[in-house]
Chain A
Amino acid sequence: MYVAVKGGERAIDNAHAWRDEERRGDTSIPEVSLAQIREQLALAVNRVMAEGSLFDADLAALAIKQSRGDLIEAIFLIRAYRTTLPRFGASRPVATSKMAVDRRVSATFKDLPGGQILGPTFDYTHRLLDFKLAAEGKAPEVKIAPATKEDVPHVTSFLNKDGLIETELPSNEEPRDLTREPLEFPAGRDLRLQSMARGDEGFILSLAYSTQRGYGRTHAFVGELRIGRVAVEMDIPELGFAIEIGEVELTECETVNQFKGSKTEPPQFTRGYGLVFGQSERKAIAMSLLDRSLRWQELGEDFVGAPAQDEEFVLAHCDNIQATGFLEHIKLPHYVDFQSELELVRRLRTEAEAAQEAAE
């Protein structure tokens, strides 16, 4: 005799208990601490902060621990927490020209004011597994020069002085916020940049790569890539001036791209921009390429049908929390819809077979 399956609630509780046990793993191995994750898996923490849109390394470390290292799951935990936080106000725009830089490189000039600073990079390491790390080693001895105190002017500002690159006009218009209003198209550059800054690193990377391979090529040079800390300031109406409320680590990339010009306008380089929380330079470079590619209309270029030029395509699909949710939801029960298809296919087959028999 058939009895319908019951006990969904107990099944859920058991599954969760099992997952918690798996998360802890072998209990004879010491548990990983949040401080260890924060300090020793800093780039994972940075990615979770960037795509979670919340600058809090301890919470990001907690999310990574809770999600067993599944970074998209960790980003989701941060996003869901973030939406419950009260909003006290908006900061002033951060001044990246006043960044205390740890790293700053330009691919367009051999040397420049402020200098080239390699910083803590993987760029010139040989990718050989370092078996010394497998043994518990001592901390490496390092001499760290203090971050620069002087302002480090942007490379593009030198080109701008000579009129060689398009001028970015400052605007006092309040940027829109896709976390507070529904996304609508055309979105504009402010929403595109916000969307990409919290978009999936892999998605942004692949689309940027596609522009390099000719799907909406923009001939990008990395004018400058910088990583460092900037002060966050907020206007306090009661005080009548802004105060510093903290600092955040940022990665900023500005590309210098294919020039445009016409019979009436002399040729000029154009810009692409990327800005991401933490040390996330792959993401920042990719974002600046994609930003430039998405600006085709504003710069009077042709739409060649490349995905990287298509604002709606990019913005509607770059959020990994939306993407993974919708993708994975197809594992939820769909008996009802499947049943309706099954019934239809059976009927169509019966009719087709009957028609065939009649014809024979």
Chain B
Amino acid sequence: MNAQAYNFAYLDEQTKRMIRRAILKGLAIPGYQVPFASREMPMPYGWGTGGVQVTAACLVPEDKLKVIDQGADDTTNAVSIRKFFEKTAGVEVTEATGEASLIQTRHRIPEQDLSKDQILVYQVPIPEPLRFLEPRETETRKMHELEEYGLMHVKLYEDISRHGEISTSYAYPVKVEGRYIMDPSPIPKFDNPKLSDSSAIQLFGAGREQRIYALPPYTDVQSLDFEDYPFEVSKAPHDCDLCGAKDTYLDEVITDDAGSRMYVCSDTDFCSTRRQNGHVGRLGTPVSSEVA
């Protein structure tokens, strides 16, 4: 069967309507996980089926789509998802963060600030922030209903007594508008501050777990912490070895048998844009000297 046999953006209209209604309720109740009748997609659960369904329900033919995985446009799964929408929705694609009208992401928020004309769609594996403290849905639903979040604070506090600090480094839980505790998807906590007060619409899709949630623009999103142990972002104490950026999230690359390391921006578009603008890192070379 070829792409022509499928509807615009793959999903049938009734499925898209069901997802769209869930997105609207998600926006109306920021941080609350709306159950939705997730469909079986032609890629496996865990590969971004929730994000893909949200993207499919949002896309219009005029969109310019960017897909990133670990911050990079050229990771295999990002390539595969981008190709899927090129084929089924016929939309233009881009790697330039600033040019994209819709960005689907796994595990990162782009370094560049998003604008009010952009939508960021997150792929979410486990949408329930309380799941690792309480595996039962019946229990966690009650906890959200009653705002009974003591368990989460106990967990974070135990971290502090054992390690001297909160030892959650990614998927760091947040509180939305002072009401719902939300899982920001497995982004590094370095990215957490970008969740709050963003100009863009942020949508979260968990396919296997059948949940959609949302953050409207300019929503207050606070990373959980304690007065005496305030939330702190963290990153490897290095600059990007390619573009010299001092304030980006970095990938660590092992470069030889002796265990030498280099650090490069995880956001590939951000790094290459900087290099094109003449920034050069410790191991980088000016872009003009590279063969295109």
Which residues of chain A have a CB within 8 Å of any CB of chain B?
Answer: 1-9, 11-12, 76, 79-80, 82-84, 86, 179-186, 312, 316, 321-322, 324-330, 332-337, 339-344, 347-348, 351
Contact A182 B36, beta carbon cutoff 8 Å: yes
Q: Can you list 30 A-B contacts (CB < 8 A)?
A: A2-B253, A2-B262, A2-B264, A6-B74, A8-B75, A9-B79, A79-B40, A83-B41, A184-B35, A185-B138, A312-B138, A321-B40, A328-B46, A329-B44, A329-B46, A333-B69, A333-B77, A334-B107, A335-B266, A336-B71, A337-B107, A337-B169, A337-B170, A337-B188, A339-B249, A339-B250, A339-B251, A340-B234, A344-B234, A348-B165
Which residues of chain B have a CB within 8 Å of any CB of chain A?
Answer: 6, 12, 35-42, 44-47, 49, 69-71, 74-80, 83, 107-108, 125, 136-138, 163-165, 167, 169-171, 186-190, 208, 210-211, 234-236, 241-242, 249-253, 255, 262, 264, 266, 268, 283, 285, 290
Contact A2 B268, beta carbon cutoff 8 Å: no
Contact A333 B41, beta carbon cutoff 8 Å: no
Contact A343 B44, beta carbon cutoff 8 Å: no
Q: Which residues of B sit under 8 angstroms from A340, Cβ to Cβ?
A: 169-170, 188-190, 234
Closest chain B residue to A329, Cβ basis: B46
Q: Which residues of A sit under 8 angstroms from B167, Cβ to Cβ?
A: 344, 348
With A and B bound together, what is the CA distance between A6 and B268 in angstroms? 11
Contact A329 B252, beta carbon cutoff 8 Å: no
Which 10 pairs show the lowest CB-CB distances between chains A and B?
Answer: A329-B46, A325-B45, A182-B35, A340-B169, A325-B44, A8-B79, A340-B188, A182-B210, A325-B46, A337-B170
Contact B283 A180, beta carbon cutoff 8 Å: no
Contact A336 B37, beta carbon cutoff 8 Å: no
Contact B137 A343, beta carbon cutoff 8 Å: no
With A and B bound together, what is the CA distance between A105 and B233 in angstroms? 66
Contact A335 B251, beta carbon cutoff 8 Å: yes
Q: Which residues of B sit under 8 angstroms from A12, Cβ to Cβ?
A: 76, 79-80
Contact A185 B125, beta carbon cutoff 8 Å: no
With A and B bound together, what is the CA distance between A335 and B78 in angstroms? 14
Contact A336 B169, beta carbon cutoff 8 Å: no
Contact A333 B242, beta carbon cutoff 8 Å: no
With A and B bound together, what is the CA distance between A342 and B138 in angstroms? 34
Q: In whole Å, how far is A292's beta carbon from the nearest beta carbon of chain B?
A: 22
Contact A336 B249, beta carbon cutoff 8 Å: yes
Given A4-B264, A334-B107, 19 extra CB contacts under 8 A = A2-B242, A2-B264, A80-B41, A83-B39, A182-B211, A184-B137, A185-B138, A322-B45, A332-B77, A333-B75, A334-B186, A336-B187, A337-B171, A339-B251, A341-B169, A341-B170, A343-B169, A343-B234, A344-B167
Q: Which residues of B sit under 8 angstroms from A179, Cβ to Cβ?
A: 37
Q: Which residues of B sit under 8 angstroms from A9, Cβ to Cβ?
A: 79, 83
With A and B bound together, what is the CA distance between A337 and B190 in angstroms? 11
Closest chain A residue to B79, Cβ basis: A8
Closest chain A residue to B285, Cβ basis: A1
Q: Which residues of A sit under 8 angstroms from B74, Cβ to Cβ?
A: 4-8
Which among A1, A83, A333, A335 is the interface contact of B40 at CB below 8 angstroms? A83
With A and B bound together, what is the CA distance between A352 and B106 in angstroms? 33
User: Number of residue pairs across A and B with beta carbons under 8 Å?
Assistant: 147
With A and B bound together, what is the CA distance between A186 and B136 in angstroms? 11
Q: In whole Å, how far is B153's beta carbon from the nearest beta carbon of chain A?
A: 20
Q: Which residues of A sit under 8 angstroms from B80, Cβ to Cβ?
A: 12
Q: In whole Å, how far is B16's beta carbon from the nearest beta carbon of chain A?
A: 13
Closest chain B residue to A7, Cβ basis: B74
Contact B170 A326, beta carbon cutoff 8 Å: no
With A and B bound together, what is the CA distance between A67 and B109 in angstroms? 36
Q: In whole Å, how far is B237's beta carbon from the nearest beta carbon of chain A?
A: 8
Contact A4 B268, beta carbon cutoff 8 Å: yes
Contact A329 B210, beta carbon cutoff 8 Å: no
Q: Which residues of A sit under 8 angstroms from B255, Cβ to Cβ?
A: 2
Q: Which residues of A sit under 8 angstroms from B188, Cβ to Cβ?
A: 336-337, 339-340
Contact B12 A316, beta carbon cutoff 8 Å: no
Which among B12, B125, B236 is the interface contact of A343 at CB below 8 angstroms? B236
Contact A84 B208, beta carbon cutoff 8 Å: no
Contact B76 A11, beta carbon cutoff 8 Å: yes
Closest chain B residue to A339, Cβ basis: B252
Contact B138 A344, beta carbon cutoff 8 Å: no
Contact A312 B44, beta carbon cutoff 8 Å: no
Q: In whole Å, how far is A176's beta carbon from the nearest beta carbon of chain B?
A: 11
With A and B bound together, what is the CA distance between A4 and B251 in angstroms? 11
Q: In whole Å, how far is B122's beta carbon from the nearest beta carbon of chain A?
A: 13
Q: In whole Å, how far is B12's beta carbon from the nearest beta carbon of chain A?
A: 7
Which among B78, B187, B210, B236 is the interface contact of A183 at CB below 8 angstroms? B210
With A and B bound together, what is the CA distance between A3 and B289 in angstroms? 12
Contact B251 A82, beta carbon cutoff 8 Å: no
With A and B bound together, what is the CA distance between A343 and B290 in angstroms? 31
